[in-house]
C-alpha cells in the first residue's frame, strides 16, 4: 500500500545539499565570479598576436606602455619608439611595439603600414588583377623580382598586421608579411 508515506533524506545527503546551496557555497561562487572578472580582462590584454614569416607562423608579444610614431618625416629615427604617455596624438599614425618573445625578449618592431606580398609562381597579369581586386587591394606597387613581389598600402599599426594575416590565410598568396620597422643596430 502506497498511502501516506513520508520520505526523508538521509542526513549525509542533507548536509551535501546544504553545502551546495548554503551561505558558504554562495560566498564561494561569488569569490569565483570575482576572480573571473579580474582575470578575463588580463587575458584579453595578453591576447597572442602572430604574423607569417613565409609559411611559418611566428608569435608576437605587445610591449605594454610603448608606441611607435611614424607621422613626422623629420623625426629622428632613434625617437620613433616612446612611452605611450608621451605620444603626441593617439589617433595619429602610431603602432604598438611588438617583440618576438615575452617581456623584453627579442628586438622591438613596429608597423608603419603596408604589407609585402609575394604571388605564387606562374601568376599572370589577369590572375594577379583578379586576386588584388578580390581582396580590395587598390594601392599596390611592384617591388621588382619579376612581377611576383608587391607592396600593398595599409594604415599603420595593427591594421597592417591583420591585413597581412588575412591575405596569407586566404591561400591566394605565397607570402604576405607586414612591412616591419625595426631599430637600426649599430655596428
Q: What is the pLDDT of residues 22-77, one digit of tens each?
A: 677 677 766 665 544 444 444 334 457 999 999 999 999 998 888 888 765 544 55
Q: What is the pLDDT of residues 85-110, one digit of tens each?
A: 555 555 567 899 999 888 777 888 99
The ranges of the chain annotated as CATH 3.30.70 are 115-178
Query: Domain 115-178 is in which class?
Result: alpha beta
Question: CB-based contacts of 114: which residues, under 8 Å, 6+ apart?
Answer: 151, 152, 153, 154, 160, 178, 179
Which has more confidence, 23 or 83? Answer: 23
- Rounded Cα–Cα distance for residues 47 and 45 (Å): 5
Amino acid at each position: 500500500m502506497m498511502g501516506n508515506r513520508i520520505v526523508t533524506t538521509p542526513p549525509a545527503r542533507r548536509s551535501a545539499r546544504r553545502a551546495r546551496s548554503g551561505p558558504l557555497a554562495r560566498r564561494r561562487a561569488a569569490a569565483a565570479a570575482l576572480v573571473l572578472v579580474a582575470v578575463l580582462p588580463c587575458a584579453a590584454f595578453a591576447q597572442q598576436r602572430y604574423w607569417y614569416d613565409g609559411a611559418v607562423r611566428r608569435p608576437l608579444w605587445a610591449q605594454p606602455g610603448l608606441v611607435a610614431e611614424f607621422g613626422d618625416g623629420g623625426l629622428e629615427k632613434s625617437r620613433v619608439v616612446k612611452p605611450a604617455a608621451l605620444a603626441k596624438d593617439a589617433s595619429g599614425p602610431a603602432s604598438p611595439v611588438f617583440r618576438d618573445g615575452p617581456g623584453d625578449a627579442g628586438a622591438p618592431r613596429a608597423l608603419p603600414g603596408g604589407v609585402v606580398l609575394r604571388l605564387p609562381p606562374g601568376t599572370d597579369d589577369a590572375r594577379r588583377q583578379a586576386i588584388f581586386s578580390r581582396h580590395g587591394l587598390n594601392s599596390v606597387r611592384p617591388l621588382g623580382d619579376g612581377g611576383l613581389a608587391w607592396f600593398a598600402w595599409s594604415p599603420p599599426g595593427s591594421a597592417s598586421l591583420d591585413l597581412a594575416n588575412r591575405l596569407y590565410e586566404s591561400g591566394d598568396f605565397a607570402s604576405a608579411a607586414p612591412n616591419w620597422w625595426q631599430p637600426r643596430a649599430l655596428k
